[in-house]
Amino acid sequence: MQRSLARSLPFAVALLAAVAACSAPRRTSLADDSAPLAAQATEAHAARADDADALFAAGKWPAAEAAFRARVDANPKDAAAWHKLGYALHVQGKLEAAAEAHARAATFPGQRAGSLYNLACAKALLGEPDQAFEALDGAATAGFHDAATLASDGDLASLRADPRWSALAARVAGEAGGKRRELDFWLGEWDVLDPSGNRIGGNVITKHERGNLIHERWTDAGGGTGQSLNFVDPSDGLWKQVWVDDKGGVIRYSGSLKDGALCFEGVHAVGPSQERPSRCTFTPQPDGSVLQKIEGRGADGNWTVTFLGRYVRKAK
């Protein structure tokens, strides 16, 4: 089975953190063992659960299966353990059991997209195309937009001749590219002008991480600076912005595209226990410029414009 991107990405942190050295427990006889048998069993159960990530990283699938089974038995709400148990079963070809684990993992929001994708793979291999397409549709709705993996994963080979495949693939590809490109109108090097046409600063907006991250570097006319990171959060499909300036101020935004404008709302933190609601709107103009408006809400509940700038591209 191909270890697809959708299945391997959630495990990156665990793979980096896994340790290679594990001490084997001392085997003792009944005569010199003072611990109750029940306590021994509990300790062995915990040891298997603790070893789960290391076993997974080493590709020791039967042992990893047992370890993750122990973990979910101990804590049925362990979303990551259900996800990895499903993978360990899947790679061994235990597809019925894997499908059950994938479905259980998909009940947790943070695992839903990847686990529904894995469920689709299991159902495709089991010869159940209707259930596979249902799971793929759910995965796309939950935020699975990895068109390259969808197109190349061998687990899904049996589905590609199905009339439903083209629409599903187009949906995943379209949402993958379209959502991440909603803020592309902001990319470039800009002079920023106030309503009277005076230059109040400059901004450089660049894209990184294969198009998944937009980086802002702002310098105002007085030399003040600030930067922001902008990205689509796969957990909820919303744009997020985190801004930090040279005075230590932080703004955390969440937003989406509305009527052609990217609208953010969030909080501006200026000190300990000092946060005020803030909102920001980027509106592209027909002439290629961009209007940015930032508003803050005061203690009286009224919104006040704190920044209004028009972005004009720097002359080459």
- Mean pLDDT, the chain, rounded, equals 83
Residue bearing the bigger pLDDT, 187 or 12: 187
Where residue 264 falls among pLDDT bands split at 50, 70, 90? very high
Asked whether the beta carbons of 272 and 253 are under 8 A apart, the reply is: no
Q: What pLDDT, on the 0 to 100 scale, is given for residue 176? A: 53
Least confident of 85-94, 130-139, 178-187, 210-219: 178-187
Residue 79 identity: A
> What SS3 state is found at 137?
helix
The pair phi, psi for residue 146, each rounded to 5°, is -90, 85
Where residue 182 falls among pLDDT bands split at 50, 70, 90? confident
234 contact partners, CB below 8 Å, separation of at least 6 = 113, 143, 145
> Across 210-313, where does the E strand assignment appear?
213-220, 225-233, 238-245, 250-258, 261-271, 274-284, 290-297, 303-313
Rounded to an integer, what distance in angstroms lies between the CA atom of residue 297 and that of residue 306?
10
Domains of the chain, each with CATH number or no CATH = 5-180 (1.25.40.10), 184-313 (2.40.128.20)
**Does the structure show a pLDDT above 70 at 17?**
no
Q: Alpha-carbon torsion 72, 101, 145, 282, what sign? A: negative
| Tokens standing for residue 252 | 């955390």
61 contact partners, CB below 8 Å, separation of at least 6 = 88, 91, 92
CA atoms within 13 A on the CB side of 128: 14
**Does the structure show a pLDDT above 60 at 205?**
yes
Mean pLDDT of 50-65: 91
pTM assigned to the model: 0.49
Residue pLDDT, tens place only, 86-135: 999 999 999 999 999 999 999 998 888 899 999 999 999 999 999 999 99
**Does the structure show a pLDDT above 50 at 203?**
yes
Q: What pLDDT, on the 0 to 100 scale, is given for residue 140? A: 86
Which among 258, 306, 304, 251 has a CA at the least distance from the CA of 283? 258
Asked whether the beta carbons of 194 and 167 are under 8 A apart, the reply is: no
